[in-house]
């Protein structure tokens, strides 16, 4: 039997507000443990939460960017459970009346485009962080993170493959980053994802039993965990065993998912409206004010790149995948207005460099201005495209401007016809045998002669001139 997967994702994104959601403690990452705390976020009895307006602003930004309907009135609820990282014994979250619902985004997979529904977006507070000491039988708790604002973005079960799940997450993260409301760092946990997955025979329209996967801290992990879990579920069904609705942990070392606990139900949490917080009322003016300040979003920017710069859709897709990368490209085009050439270099040498040096584009060792200088040197014939690669590598190691490198290393292209002719004559007299073979019809030796001439000029001869002069001399 053929099966298809049904996948729905729950994403938690940490918002980049200066302070926490219900108190004025700093929400900055990386401070000494328990220094960003106060009676409110430590859950002392009798304190009262006060909602941070900026959290609502940011959530509305995301809601608008993902085509959601914004509730004029929403509520906060208490989600009750016990865990040492949750001092109050409940998490303040939105439950029955979330701030945003019924949205969607588009993803691009295999040249096609799919619409993925967003069920809801709601605000909630983060819990603290437990630190387990491998050398002592104790765990420590850091409450700096309690009360840091999160939004949870729940998708409809519209995703069908692990690849689509990856594309959905990348698009969602790009939107958050374009909006500048979340840094999207999966390793540090500011962008987290739980994946719900079930399988069903192709052609049926009811859903199978789902499992919920946790502990994936990269896009690759999410895709790998889903691929594994889909296969596992198929086997369970084929073996006539029973699928259990449960939460499973992904183990990246062994590449399998392991049962963690039975799936909790909403009623286990005893949700009820938080009596300490008033209903949140958002008026039309507030929404419109935020709408008017939305930046250009990834899909629009991609379309503009194709339109305005005439680059292929694929290039535009890669270049707009992050806002800083798109900014880098545009800054470079401003200084060297040949978009396709710039795109080739950014998608090639620049991205490869960032990858090997494990850097973000903002940390690029070659600035857009410097890259433009290099491209101008090729364009004006000072260096060949091949030598440009050498200059680029030198720019990486020395940080010097391309022009200085070309002068210092004597890399200026040889465009002196006489000098080139001289080298060619030498090559031809050194290879008399090949010359007679060539004349006897073995014309593919032409490339061999070109290679020898380039070798003789240490790659500096103008390739076009070499071709022309060589052709003349051989004829
Ligand atoms: P819970 O908090 O119980 O996990 P949520 O409603 O927050 O419930 O999230 C449920 C997620 O699971 C959604 O993303 C939804 O699309 C997805 N989902 C629901 N049913 C299925 C199913 N049968 N197979 C796969 N995903 C599912
Ligand atoms: Mg869940
Ligand atoms: Zn506090």
Ligand 2 center from residue 267 Cα (angstroms)? 13
- Ligand 2 is an ion; its neighbours by CB within 5 Å are 10
pLDDT of residue 311: 97
CA pair distance 344, 175, nearest whole angstrom? 24
Distance of CA 472 to the CA centre of its chain: 53
pLDDT of residue 124: 98
- In this structure, what token pair is assigned to residue 79? 């989600």
| Atom 11 (ligand 1) nearest CA | 8
- Range of lowest pLDDT (54-63, 84-93, 446-455): 446-455
Ligand 3 center from residue 38 Cα (angstroms)? 4
Ligand 1 neighbours, Cβ below 6 Å, are: 6-10, 154-157, 196-198, 207, 210, 212
pLDDT of residue 261: 78
Structural contact between residues 394 and 409, judged by C-beta atoms closer than 8 angstroms: yes
Q: Between the ranges 98-107, 126-135, 255-264, 420-429, where is the mean pLDDT highest?
A: 98-107
Q: For the chain, what are the domain ranges?
A: 3-288, 298-408, 417-474
Task: Identify the residue with better confidence: 151 or 409.
Answer: 151
Q: How confident is the model at residue 319 (pLDDT cuts 50, 70, 90)?
A: very high
Mutational test site, ligand 1, from 152, 196, 271, max ligand atoms within 8 Å of CB? 196
- Domain 417-474 sits in CATH at 1.10.10.410
- Range of lowest pLDDT (105-119, 153-167, 264-278, 342-356): 264-278
pLDDT of residue 464: 84
Q: How confident is the model at residue 262 (pLDDT cuts 50, 70, 90)?
A: confident
Residue 89 zone, left/alpha/beta (φ > 0; ψ -120 to 50; rest): left
The ligand placed nearest to the CA atom of residue 4 is 1
Ligand 2 center from residue 31 Cα (angstroms)? 30
> Considering the chain, what percentage of its residues have pLDDT values greater than 90?
78
Cα torsion 362, 365, 370, 374 to 10°: value is -130
Name the residue among 2, 59, 320 with its Cα closest to residue 171.
320
pLDDT of residue 384: 83
| Atom 17 (ligand 1) nearest CA | 8
Closest atom of ligand 1 relative to the 212 alpha carbon: 4
pLDDT tens digits, residue range 27-66?
A: 998 899 999 999 999 999 999 999 999 999 999 999 999 9
Give the position of tokens 């049926």.
204
| Atom 6 (ligand 1) nearest CA | 154
pLDDT of residue 431: 92
pLDDT tens digits, residue range 184-203?
A: 999 888 999 999 999 999 99
- Ligand 3 is an ion; its neighbours by CB within 5 Å are 23, 25, 38, 40-41
pLDDT of residue 80: 96
Ligand 3 center from residue 25 Cα (angstroms)? 4
Name the residue among 161, 236, 243, 238 with its Cα closest to residue 195.
161
Mutational test site, ligand 1, from 93, 118, 157, 205, max ligand atoms within 8 Å of CB? 157
Query: Average pLDDT over the chain, rounded to whole?
Result: 93
- In this structure, what token pair is assigned to residue 256? 């399998």
The ligand placed nearest to the CA atom of residue 19 is 3
Q: How confident is the model at residue 10 (pLDDT cuts 50, 70, 90)?
A: very high
pLDDT higher than 90, residue 410: no
- Range of lowest pLDDT (14-28, 253-267, 269-283, 324-338): 253-267
Q: Please write down the HEC assignment for all residues of 439-462.
A: HCCCHHHHHHHHHHHHHHCCCCEC
pTM for the model: 0.86
pLDDT higher than 90, residue 411: no
pLDDT higher than 80, residue 265: no
How much is the average pLDDT of 207-212?
Answer: 95
CA pair distance 93, 79, nearest whole angstrom? 7
pLDDT higher than 80, residue 407: yes
Q: How confident is the model at residue 279 (pLDDT cuts 50, 70, 90)?
A: very high
| Atom 2 (ligand 1) nearest CA | 266
Structural contact between residues 411 and 387, judged by C-beta atoms closer than 8 angstroms: yes
């Amino acid at each position: 039997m053929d099966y298809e997967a049904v996948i729905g994702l729950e994403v938690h994104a940490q918002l980049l507000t200066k302070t926490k959601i219900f108190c004025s403690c700093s929400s900055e990452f990386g401070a000494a443990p328990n220094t960003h705390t106060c009676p409110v976020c430590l859950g002392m009895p009798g304190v009262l939460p006060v909602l941070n307006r900026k959290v609502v602003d940011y959530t509305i930004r995301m809601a608008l960017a993902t085509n959601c309907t914004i509730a004029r009135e929403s509520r906060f609820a208490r989600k009750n459970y016990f865990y040492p990282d949750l001092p109050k014994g409940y998490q303040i979250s939105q439950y029955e009346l979330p701030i945003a619902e019924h949205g969607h985004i588009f993803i691009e997979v295999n040249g096609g485009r799919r619409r993925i529904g967003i069920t809801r977006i709601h605000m909630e507070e983060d819990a603290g962080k437990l630190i387990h000491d491998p050398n002592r039988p104790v765990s420590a708790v850091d409450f700096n993170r309690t009360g840091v604002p999160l939004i949870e973005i729940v998708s409809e079960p519209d995703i069908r493959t692990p690849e689509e799940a990856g594309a959905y997450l990348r698009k969602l993260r790009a939107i958050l980053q374009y909006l500048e409301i979340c840094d999207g760092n999966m390793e540090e946990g500011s962008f987290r994802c739980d994946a719900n997955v079930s399988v069903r025979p192709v052609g049926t329209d009811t859903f199978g039993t789902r499992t919920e996967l946790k502990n994936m801290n990269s896009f690759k992990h999410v895709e790998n965990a889903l691929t594994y879990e889909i296969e596992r579920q198929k086997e369970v069904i084929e073996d006539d065993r029973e699928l259990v609705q449960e939460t499973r942990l992904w183990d990246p070392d062994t590449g399998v998912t392991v049962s963690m606990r039975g799936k909790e139900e909403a009623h286990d949490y005893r949700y009820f409206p938080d009596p300490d917080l008033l209903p949140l009322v958002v008026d039309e003016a507030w929404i419109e004010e935020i709408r008017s300040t939305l930046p250009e979003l990834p899909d629009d920017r991609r379309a503009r790149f194709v339109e305005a710069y005439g680059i292929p859709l694929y290039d535009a897709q890669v270049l707009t995948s992050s806002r800083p990368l798109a900014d880098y490209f545009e800054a470079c085009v401003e200084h060297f207005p040949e978009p396709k050439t710039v795109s080739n270099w950014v998608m090639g040498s620049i991205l490869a460099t960032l990858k090997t040096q494990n850097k973000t584009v903002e940390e690029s060792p070659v600035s857009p201005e410097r890259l433009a200088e290099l491209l101008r040197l090729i364009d004006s014939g000072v260096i060949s495209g091949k030598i440009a690669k050498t200059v680029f590598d030198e720019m990486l190691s020395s940080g010097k401007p391309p022009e200085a490198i070309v002068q210092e290393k004597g890399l200026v292209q040889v465009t002196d016809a006489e000098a080139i002719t001289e080298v060619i004559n030498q090559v031809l007299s050194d290879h008399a045998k090949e010359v007679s073979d060539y004349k006897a019809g073995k014309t593919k030796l032409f490339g061999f002669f070109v290679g020898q001439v380039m070798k003789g000029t240490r790659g500096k001869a103008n390739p076009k001139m070499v071709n022309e002069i060589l052709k003349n001399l051989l004829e």
